[in-house]
Structure 1
């Protein structure tokens, strides 16, 4: 029975063998799968990081935001220039207080900066702050130089304060978005520290006598600012918008997850920035104490160490790696259709029934 069952198979093999020996050039056609519905299912592959070179890191945005914070606090120096503004404008005490309150209102009403940040982004918010501060300080300089009414000076100081609010909002929240949740508390503390330090640093620059000389009464003659309020406001009208524009060019926001790895070391870098700020504060406090207690001639050179220490903040950007982003920097998996939900494999379409659309066996 077995021999009878296998006889046709042996006969077929013998005939094919004979044909191959008789025609050496003849080759058997490769067997193909019978036609049928083709499966469209593609195995999902893991997302691959983009290989494009990245020159930007979140530390660049953080340092840019800290410099913007440093320029957002001139409104707090109003107490140091209060009496000079009163004399230049010939205003009453109530009118001068109105000017100071107008600046505070412009700074702390941050509803508009928040809306601009959510709708247009951090860079537009920073540029808007630079434009408003430039307009406000220029108008304030003209008001002090020309003796405008106190109401006009209040409007100018309010514009300057509003621009500082834009700089503050962009510098703070752009850096917060670039860091993971476990690091945002330290980032917020560092930014707030720089914002509070700005008034101390700027008032030291105002009260200094860089390049001048001190008379017997302690007044400064000559120098870069020489205690002149108009020169101080003119400096703000140039320096603050310039730093705002540069900070906007360096600002970039990416929603980030955990750090980029052991080489990023966010806690170590943030601790180094905090230590740097403590050194800056101690230096300013020590120099102010020496001016008031020991020797007033310290004013002639006290600003040089401060100006030399500020650029050292740029060292925080050296050697940093890009942080891991959530989605924007990852390539879409191969085979994933445009309408699929991210992270789910593509679903194969149902084949048409036999006899409709050529889906059956031809």
Structure 2
């Protein structure tokens, strides 16, 4: 039999790919202006500094000018990004920035989202931003100013060096495990436990719930485990729609869509359920959502919730909000504050120790001066 050697054109063609990558590191900082009307007392051209924050291993801060930075922007609010680190002589940092006014749901308002060009930041005191970010009239007439507060997000992208790398021939899709578990819950295939909640029945899988919650693991597989009878487990301290959302999170690691205006109430209910079933990640998600919605009418309720369910981050955010004498006085007039003083004496001790209450004893001006000296 004759033999043949491979020649050009025989077999599938070979190939390779590479990429030229422009490296970049991104991050953001949320700046909440609390007591906006008081900041308007600052003259044109003067600014208040945010606390320093880190992006890409570098330190930055935001400058907020409530009456504009120049004479021609006196009717506007200005925001600028300033570089804070020490650099070698002649060294600069290239970065791009974006400022966004956030609505009450934490989403950027497109009309007031502005992106700057790539700029070189150095130690010479130069800063970049927007002199006429939004007019005070537009802000004050909008729904984005609530309880005399508004929030701005600054995104920072630091440009890195160019480098080359091989391009993988196989692109892996993101994990879709959450979708498969969600389908498992909705299909009810293999369910082996039922719950009776508020007149409704919910089916689930013991193994999934035990994997997600130490409480369910002890209930189903611990020394005092519940039997495998067909009788449903009754839960009396959670509403049906909250328990349904809880199951959805346990299977998909995500909360279901909520109706507009119900996010805060649902987050409070979900936080209580998360604490009951020892779901730490869900608890932190709820704390974060509530921390973004603190107001003079809600802070007392949130503080009581944080104290009862050991939510240290939410409590810290509430105490920070009440460090403003204006916010404290307004909060004390709310319906929830009387309940707070009676049911959570430990919170009142925290308020005293943080030196908030002394502002009511004639020291408001001293506190105001101390706050301004820190911010300027």
TM-score bracket for this pair, using the shorter chain length: under 0.3
Determine which structure has the larger strand proportion and give its number.
2
Q: TM-score, normalised by structure 1?
A: 0.21
Q: Pick 1 or 2: higher relative contact order, CA cutoff 8 A, min separation 6.
A: 1
Q: TM-score, normalised by structure 2?
A: 0.20
Determine which structure has the larger helix proportion and give its number.
1
